[in-house]
Amino acid sequence: MNDTWTIQAALDWTQGYLERKGDENPRLSSQWLLSEATGLSRIELYAHFDKPLSMGERDTLRAYVSRRGSGEPLQYITGEVGFRHISVKVKPGVLIPRPETEVLVSEGLAALPAPPKRIAADAFESDALRESDGRPDAAHGLAGSGLHGGGQDGAPEDAPEAQPVDEVIPEERRELLVADLCTGSGCIACSIAYEHPETRVIATDIASEAVSLARENAEALGLSDRIEVLEGSLGEAVPSGLVGSFDLVISNPPYIPTAVLAEIPKEVADFEPSLALDGGDDGLDLFRPLALWSARALRPGGTLAVELHETCLDEAAAAAKDAGFAVTTIVEDLTGRPRVLVARKGCGECEDGR
């Protein structure tokens, strides 16, 4: 390359180099790496094609390109990945979050009671406008809308009193208890706590590197007061006093059948921890004890949601029913493959467990 490295020249060189190294998407990889090296967004890169790179940026880019050329995942190089509505830190030794796991989180959240909705002052005004066919004069001051109670203004005497303008205060609700087993980076625990403010999450992992990273992510997102990360296999580290009180047990355990591991991309096999991938001969070595523990840990009517290999879902559903779950559902991932098992514990109020 020329002595002066412009952004365009660096992009072209990086893309060509990674293409020769067998990168599946060299253009995207070059954009990610240059964005990380320069601190510019991908859009800003294309708006500043003629901007020269500093010597420090050039050295950083060279190091990144060398790592990517050897097959290292982009997420480990940049140290961060977007997941649903948050970003989490990732590092070698801990599984990289994937889009399939976002589907798992969606199913877990759907199994919980919805969080209360805050209703702002403008919502009252909007309701009044709708009730008055959109006539601002009829809604002005809410005098005739029935929101300010009865009196000499002509509103009905029994009209309900307006709530405070900042929010409607919900009825007393209990904290929802969630167990995230095999938490890895903590992306599941953090997403649930971030998206549902009434949850408290107990997260576990057998790997000390994962425990440390999950705690770091919870703290960075301001969620460490509602997420506790414990080291141990599956539910072994969960305090016994909590068993029987969980509303949701959710997990992305090692689930790839051992024979299938030989077929996964080299980028995954060479860099991501096999401890977080290998699910045994049929992919269910961890699922079976997980289902048995969950059947004891969940309160009546609670839900187990687990991400599994597409070849294992039917057998997993049968194992869940053997463990005592009343209803099981198989959910497809974004590519249409069976991916998530959702199993509900019977409430014991009727014969079919529903």
To the question of whether residue 115 is assigned a binding role by annotation, the answer is: no
To the question of whether residue 322 is assigned a binding role by annotation, the answer is: no
Neighbouring residues of 276: CB distance < 8 A, sequence distance ≥ 6: 94, 95, 182, 184, 207, 210, 254
- Cα 207 to Cα 216: distance, rounded to the nearest angstrom: 14
To the question of whether residue 254 is assigned a binding role by annotation, the answer is: yes
- Cα 144 to Cα 135: distance, rounded to the nearest angstrom: 12
To the question of whether residue 76 is assigned a binding role by annotation, the answer is: no
To the question of whether residue 257 is assigned a binding role by annotation, the answer is: no
Q: Whose CA is closest to 251, among 291, 305, 197?
A: 305
Residue numbering of the annotated binding site for S-adenosyl-L-methionine: 205, 252
Residue numbering of the annotated binding site: 205, 252-255
Residue numbering of the annotated binding site for substrate: 252-255
